Amino acid sequence: MAETIQPGSVPAPPTAMPVWLRLLLPLSSGALAFLVYALTLAPDLTWANYGADGGELITAAATLGIPHPPGYPTYVLLGKLISLLPLGGSVALRFNLFSAMSMATAVAFTCSATMEVLGYSWRAALAAFAAALSLAFAPLVWGQAVITEVYALNLAAVAAFVWALVVGRSPWLAGLLLGLAVTTHLTSLLLAPLTLALSDRQTWSRLLGGAALGLLPLLLLPLFALSGSPVSWGAPATLQGWFWLVSGRIYAANLALPAPAALQGTLTFWGTTVLRQWVWIGWLLVLLGLVSTPPDRRIRFWLPITAVFYALFAFFNQTIDSAVLLLPALLLLTPILGAGLSRFAPLALLLPLALLLTGFTAQDLRHDRQVRRLALDVFGAAPPSALLLTPGDESLPALWYLQHVEGLRTDLALVDTNLLAFDWYRRGLQARHPELGGLEVDDLEQFRRLNAAERPFCDVSPRLGPALPCSVPGSPVPDGGN
C-alpha cells in the first residue's frame, strides 16, 4: 500500500527507488515525448490542429507586439528569444519547436508530480511514467505540441505549478508559477480553488505574493503597444484599455449554452473528443484510479473536480477550437490515470504505446507546407504597392508573418475587414500607412472609395483562396463580397 501523501510534505523514498531514478524517469518521459514531437513537427505555418493563429503569435513575438486578448506577454517575451535563435529553417519552425519543448516540459513535470502522488515504489514509478506518456500522446496534447500556439506553454506552466504544489515547494514558487500560468492563458484562474484546497491557510499570503509576481508580465503590455508592431491589439496605455485586453472581455459572448437544435450533435462531438484522448480502456483506468490510490482525499477530490471545471468551461465555450481547452483537464487527471495503471503496472506501457502507434500518422505534419504556398501565391499575384483587404479569417496571420517576419512584399498594405471595427486598429494602421484615407470611422465602403483610386486594391479570398481580384487606379473597384 502506498504511503499517504499530504500536500506540502515529501515522503522518504524507499531505498529501492534511488534519487537518480526519481529524476531520470521524468526527464526520460519528457525526452521521449520531445523526440516523437520532433518527428511529427510541422515545418512551417500550418492551419492544422486549430493553428490558424500561429502567424499572428509569431509576428507579435518577433516584433514585440500584442496578440489577441489577453495579450500573452510571457509568450511574447519567450517567443522573441526563440525568434533570435540561430537555427536553420524558417522562424515558424523555431516556434513549432518551442511548442514541442514546452509540451515535453509539461510531460516531465507531470510525471514527477504523479510519482509524488502515487508514492516512490517501482510499481508507482512505472505507472507514473506510463501515465505521463499517455498524456503526451493524447491526440489533443500531441496536436498542440507540433504547431505554434499558446497552449503548450500554458500546459508547461500548469504542470510546473501542480508539481510545486504537490511536492510542497515554497509557496512563493507555487504562486509564481500560478501567476505565470495565468499570463499564458486566462483559464489558469480555474486552478485557484485547487491551490487553496491543497495549501495550508498559513501559506495563502505567500501564495498570493508569488502569484502577484507571476502576473507582472501583464504590466509590459503598455510598453509593447509602443513597439509599432503590426500586431497590437487594444489600447493598454490606459487602465480601462489595459483591463479590456487582459480580461479577455471580447470573448465573453462566446460563453453560452449550445443551441437546443444542436445539442445532440454537440454532445456527440464532446463525447467522441474526450473518448479519443485515452480510448475507452484509459478512461476505465481513470475511474479505477478514483476509487483506489492516491490515498489523500484532498488530492483524490480536487484534481478531478478542477478537471471538471475546465471541461465545463470548454463545453460552454462556443468557439471552433474549444476542444483544446481540455488540455489542463487531461493533465490534472494524469495522476488519477497513473493510480489506475499502478494496478496493472507490468502492462502499464501498453496504453501510451497504443496511443503512439494509432496516432502517429494522424499527427504527422512533416509535409504540411500548404499555408506558405497559398500565401506566396497571393503575394505573387498582388500588383506593386497594392492594398490587400483580408476577410477576417486565417489569411491575415499568414500574410502578417511573411511580410513582417520574413520581409516579403513590404510594399503591400494589409487591411483586415473585421479589425477595422476597432478604433485602436484603425489608429495603428494610420500610423503605419499615413497615406491611407477613411480610417477615422468604421466605414468599409468609404475606405474602399477613398483608397482604390490611389493604389491597386485587392480582395483576398477566405483561407487564401486561389482568386485575387484586383483593381488598379481608374478601374472599377471589385465587389469582393465584403
What are the grid coordinates assigned to 217, written together? Answer: 508580465
pLDDT at residue number 5: 41
Q: Give pLDDT tens digits along the chain (482 positions).
A: 344 444 444 444 444 577 778 899 999 999 999 999 999 999 999 999 999 999 999 999 999 999 999 999 999 999 999 999 888 889 999 999 999 999 999 999 999 999 999 988 889 999 999 999 999 999 999 999 999 999 999 999 999 999 999 998 999 999 999 999 999 999 999 999 999 999 999 999 999 999 999 999 999 999 999 999 999 999 999 999 999 999 999 999 999 988 888 889 999 999 999 999 999 999 999 999 998 756 677 888 999 999 999 999 999 999 999 999 999 999 999 999 999 999 999 999 999 999 999 999 999 999 999 999 999 999 999 999 999 999 988 999 999 999 999 999 999 999 999 999 999 999 999 999 999 999 999 999 999 999 988 899 999 999 998 889 999 886 655 554 44
pLDDT at residue number 294: 60
CA–CA dist 36, 90 (Å, integer): 20
Total-model pTM = 0.93
Question: Which of 44, 79, 51, 340 is closest to 184 using CA atoms?
Answer: 79
CA–CA dist 353, 100 (Å, integer): 19
pLDDT at residue number 6: 46
219 Cβ contact partners less than 8 Å away, ≥ 6 residues apart:
none
pLDDT at residue number 297: 78
Q: How many CB atoms lie within 10 A of CB 262?
A: 11
pLDDT at residue number 479: 54
CA–CA dist 375, 464 (Å, integer): 6
Pairing of strands 470-471, 457-459: antiparallel
CA–CA dist 242, 218 (Å, integer): 9
What are the grid coordinates assigned to 344, written together? Answer: 496493472
pLDDT at residue number 292: 78
CA–CA dist 311, 330 (Å, integer): 9
Q: How many CB atoms lie within 10 A of CB 48?
A: 16
Question: Which of 466, 444, 446 is closest to 389 using CA atoms?
Answer: 444
Q: How many CB atoms lie within 10 A of CB 73?
A: 24
Please state the three-class secondary structure of the chain as a single string: CCCCCCCCCCCCCCCCCCHHHHHHHHHHHHHHHHHHHHHCCCCCCCCHHHCCCHHHHHHHHHCCCECCCCCCHHHHHHHHHHHHCCCCCCHHHHHHHHHHHHHHHHHHHHHHHHHHHHCCCHHHHHHHHHHHHHHHCCHHHHHHHCCCCCHHHHHHHHHHHHHHHHCCCCHHHHHHHHHHHHHHCHHHHHHHHHHHHCCCHHHHHHHHHHHHHHCHHHHHHHHHCCCCCCCECCCCCCHHHHHHHHCCHHHHHHECCCCHHHHHHHHHHHHHHHHHHHHHHHHHHHHHHHCCCCCCHHHHHHHHHHHHHHHHHHHCECCCCHHHHHHHHHHHHHHHHHHHHHHHHHHCCHHHHHHHHHHHHHHCCCCCCHHHHHHHHHHHHCCCCCEEEECCCCHHHHHHHHHHCCCCCCCCEEEECCHHHCHHHHHHHHHHCCCCCCCCCCCHHHHHHHHHCCCCEEECCHHHCCCCCEECCCCCCCCCCC
**pLDDT tens across 12-60, in order?**
444 457 777 889 999 999 999 999 999 999 999 999 999 999 999 999 9
440 Cβ contact partners less than 8 Å away, ≥ 6 residues apart:
426
Contact criterion met (CB below 8 Å) for 215 and 205? no
